[in-house]
Amino acid sequence: MEFKRHTLKDDGKTFTYWTLGNNKKQSLLILPGLTGQYKDLAQFIHHLEKNNFIIIPDLPGWGESQQLDKKHNLTEYSHFLKKVLDDAEIDKTVIVGHCLGSLLAITFAKLFPTRVNKLFLITPPYEDGSMIFGVLKHMGELSQHMPRAVQSLFFLWRNRFVGFAAAMFLLRFKSFRKRAYYSLKTLDRSNEVEDVVIDNTLSIYHFNWNVLKYLNQPIYVFHGERDLVIMPKKIEQLIEKLHGDIVFELIPNAGHLPPIETPETLARMILEHI
């Protein structure tokens, strides 16, 4: 079955989202991580399509969706997602969010609790208290006081060579060819708008994790057992601190990108709890 493309017009802007399957079935709203798009998750999504209706948006500023005239933060993205669900005639959905997408899932569930059945948070980016995160956050905040032309220099991971080297080390593929392929993709920034990337990154740095305390929906956190970007132990500590009812499971053989590293395993874990 092929993805179906939908356009949504709002406030003079045109946005795109994609669906797969029959909208009479259980709906799954899939939210990619930072810089991710639906094409990156196609294999993972196809493992979920049986008995489910898949919705995956091009978030504003990504893919075929135009930029907003506002900040591309989690609150604005949440209001956009509500319009997507309204347009798709979906009253209530299960949300699967990866990394930045997991923060968006939490924010949406807080703002629109009656629209959410369950939350699946995949490798949520919690690094509070770590020295590296503190440095990155401080540099991100400093960038906001600099001329726009040099702001991206304060986001070290945006350097193509740093990104390539990090990806080669961090991605958990058994195949060297696959690891090299996805690492080389970090060199291509032609589909990325720097202002949007910066807004998205700052949303990670400034996220208020206490929001989790106030969510009543069932929450499942699946984390790559070999994730070197966000250590699994940090997530376990967060769950114990904020929300003891969260189901936490490690994804075997996965690093920070389970939807592309171990798509079949991750899909199976999600389907077991829907």
DSSP result, 258-272: HHHHSHHHHHHHHHT
How many CB atoms neighbour CB 234 within 10 A? Answer: 19
Q: What are the domain boundaries of the chain?
A: 4-127+208-271
206-233 as b/e, with b when 16 or more CB fall inside 10 Å? ebeeebbeebeeebbbbbbebbeebebe
Range with lowest mean pLDDT among 100-104, 190-194, 199-203, 245-249: 190-194
Domain 4-127+208-271 has what CATH class?
alpha beta
Q: Quick one: pLDDT band at residue 39, thresholds 50, 70, 90?
A: confident
- Span 235-239, average pLDDT: 87
How many CB atoms neighbour CB 188 within 10 A? Answer: 9
How many helices (H) and strands (E) would you count in the chain?
A: 11, 8
User: Which structure tokens are listed for 123?
Assistant: 């490798």
Q: Could you give the CA distance from residue 55 to residue 93 in angstroms, rounded to a whole number?
A: 10
Closest CA to 140 of 125, 156, 126, 127: 156
Strand segments (E) across 43-162:
52-57, 93-98, 116-122
3-state secondary structure of 63: coil
Token look-up 């208020």 returns: 208
Answer whether residue 131 shows pLDDT above 60. no
Q: pLDDT tens digits, residue range 240-266?
A: 887 778 999 999 999 989 998 999 999
Token look-up 């591309």 returns: 72
- Span 163-177, average pLDDT: 63
Q: pLDDT tens digits, residue range 61-70?
A: 999 999 999 9
